[in-house]
Amino acid sequence: MHIFNITSPDQALRPVIQAKIDNLNKPKGSLGRLETLAMQICLAQQSLTPSLAHPCHLLLGGDHGIEREGVSVSPREVTWQQMVNFTKGGGGVNMFCRQHGFHLRVVDVGVDHDLSQIPGILNRKIAPGTRNFLHEPAMSPSEYERAISIGVELADACHAEGCCVLCVGEMGIANTSPSSIWMSLFCHIPLAECIGAGSGLNSTGVTHKGRVLTQALEHFNEQMPTPSAKDIIRYFGGFEMVVAIGAMLRAAELQMLVLVDGFIMTACALAACQLYPAAKDYMIFGHCGDESGHRRMLDALHAEPILSLGLRLGEGTGALCAFPIVDSAVRMMNEMNNFDNANITKYF
């Protein structure tokens, strides 16, 4: 079992960082959210001159047994088809990675299709999809540990290249279903208030999805009346989601910044923080999407997303779109002049 050593950043540097921010040639507090982002990043990196070196993006693919219950409008084969599409540069994630200079890794951790011969896809397949959590746990304890280990391996590979900011995205049909259940259990919110349309279910489809997930949760409660966070994650999670948790936790352990995307990745961040609360100090929440309940999940994490663009694509696209704002916060610290050097009277 992998044990992480994640510590909250030392706060001793906070007043020094604040003094530098306040002495930049601008009215005090006038750059708003950029200033709070800069504080978080400087604390995470324990530096007055933060950096965003070699940004990396992990795109993790996996299928879900619960998809067999008709909880998604998209068919299962879309997962592997999109994974192949990513290798050709044609996905939304490809466009944004190119735009913002991210090194993209496309990783098969549990797609129900043989992708081992496709150039450009890393093969870390645990199994061809999880089991159907309506009837049994999505993954075994050993599969859970394997998924965490793969996430650690991927984060380590990025860090070894000099990466200090990691973005994680997913591709997995039906992964809003486990996300909704995690949200309900970890945030103590009624399940019905956590279920949305996913990739485009109509009202009848959402009702059916609700019935299936309610029944699955009833079965789980009967089998595990006092579950741990790990039990909840393992019983419902997708392989791509648990790998994401492992990558987020390892990145936090290495004091890397973690860019968090939409509903599914916020659910993974939520789960990671259930295991190691200090991991949140390294997370920057990029986007609040359209999926029902996402805002409430962010509120439960006391997280303020940078953007709210109505995106619900996944893949990490919302977090990538937010990256220029993060970059602006870092540039503010490193490139903006101060009152003394600019020969401007400091009037506060």
Q: What are the beta bridge partners of residue 338?
A: 24
Per the CB < 8 A criterion, the answer to whether 19 and 169 are in contact is: no
Within 70-174, residue ranges assigned H as helices are: 77-87, 92-100, 141-160
The CA distance from 346 to 37, in Å, is 23
CA angle 155, 100, 318 (to 5 degrees): 75
* Identity of the amino acid at 127: A
d(CA 13, CA 228): 35
Amino acid residing at 230: K
List, in order, residues 6 or more apart from 95 with CB less than 8 Å away.
Answer: none
Decide if 188 contacts 293 (C-beta within 8 A): no
* 320: its two tokens: 């990538």
Which tokens belong to 71?
């909880």
Q: How far apart are CA 259 and CA 263, in angstroms?
A: 13
CA distances from 309 to 32, 126, 262, 287 (A): 19, 34, 11, 7
Cα 27 to Cα 20: distance, rounded to the nearest angstrom: 13
| Neighbour count for residue 222 (Cβ, 10 Å) | 8
Indicate the helix (H) or strand (E) that contains 239: helix 239-253
3-state secondary structure of 34: helix
Residue pair 209/198 in contact (Cβ under 8 Å)? The answer is: yes
**11 Cβ contact partners less than 8 Å away, ≥ 6 residues apart:** 43
Could you tell me the end-to-end alpha-carbon distance of the chain, in angstroms, rounded to an integer?
53
Active site residues: 315
